[in-house]
Amino acid sequence: MKLECEVCVVGGGPAGTLLSCLLAAQGVSTILIERQSIAGKAFRGEILNDEGQEVIQKHKLLEQIHKDYVLASTRIEYWEHQQQVKTVKPASVDGNVGVHIPQPRFLEALLKQASTYESFRYLAGTTVTTLEGNSEQGYTGLAARDKNGHEITIDSSLIVGADGRYSTVRKLAQMPVTNIRHGYDLLWAKITAPAGWEPVTRLARVNGGQLALFSQAEGYIQIGWNVEEGSFPTLFKQSFEPFIQRLTEAFPDLKHSVHDHIRSWKDFVPLDIFSSRSDTWAQNGLVLIGDAAHTMTPTGAFGLNAALKDADVLASELLRLRQKSYTAGDLKAFEDGRRQAVTELQERQLTMESTFHEHFLQADNQRI
């Protein structure tokens, strides 16, 4: 199969799908490629902070999502020894400290909107294999393979790599990236929220380690548990019960839900933690956004929101350019406009991680 479009977006996560939707809405011929066959199957961030909320409100996307799939967190609580030692609340009465929207619901809404535009095409279950062209002469498209093994060739004026921290587009374009280690890895798990559980974010110290509980829409709690960097192989050989017992001792009200949903190490999703900075985001005919350009850690939920902002800013820039060839110079304006902001967020993450324990020395309330 041979296809043509003006912009080919690789990566059907929030950033890639939002960008595709915004471009298609303005008549830009856009093809979105996603490796997974089911939208939202891969785990990505789901909490919108002020920046992310501003983007979706700007484009009236919240109206496309049923209210049952949107949950605002009322406060951040710090806990230790079963005691709440500090509370952080939003500055305004009607504000929040984050909004959770399940990623599948968010992507479904974006794809439903995008599918109403004739200029949009979605290729799920499709893997990019090669890029056509080069950085000097310019990229002119790519080759891919669908889930049935059929070859697809796409001619395009611009390739957008929105395919995450292990970006295939970045790798094929041989764009250098610098990884930054943070000294920890993470175990994710999801449980049902017990009756009466308030929509809050709880951050806790458990045996000197960091544990986070994020209230989620549809009646769930997402657990994020920091463990020593590189410790997964050793940890998974140890007994499971003592580890999970520390969680139930810290939060006795979660005991039944934890035992119902977390019964072995297999019920945790291990996440290798690092951040990264690509030396450049743009080449002739190609540009990176989101984690492909600047991977972030889960701290502060900045990654998703910065990626959505990337998509919003790039869409505006591409609509301004509207040309058949996009040079690195053309695309550099987008990079220059976003690089400093995301670098500051990455540095802020490092500071937040290094000062986490200081919150437990301040038994007071704050507003953000």
* Per-residue model confidence (pLDDT) at position 323: 75
- Note the pTM of the prediction, 2 decimals: 0.95
Q: State what percent of residues in the chain have pLDDT above 90.
A: 90
**pLDDT averaged over every residue in the chain:** 94
Q: Which whole number is the average pLDDT over 66-84?
A: 94
Q: What is the pLDDT of residues 121-157, one digit of tens each?
A: 999 999 999 999 999 999 999 999 999 999 999 999 9
Q: What is the rounded distance in angstroms from the CA atom of residue 61 to the CA atom of residue 247?
A: 37
* Alpha-helical segments (H) within the chain: 14-25, 50-58, 103-114, 168-172, 232-235, 240-250, 255-261, 291-294, 302-321, 328-354
Q: What is the rounded distance in angstroms from the CA atom of residue 125 to the CA atom of residue 31?
A: 13
**Position 40 confidence tier, pLDDT thresholds 50, 70, 90:** low
Q: Helix axis angle, 302-321 relative to 328-354, nearest 10°?
A: 170
Q: Which whole number is the average pLDDT over 225-254?
A: 95
Phi and psi torsions of 130, nearest 5°: -145, 160
Q: What is the pLDDT of residues 95-123, one digit of tens each?
A: 899 999 999 999 999 999 999 999 999 99
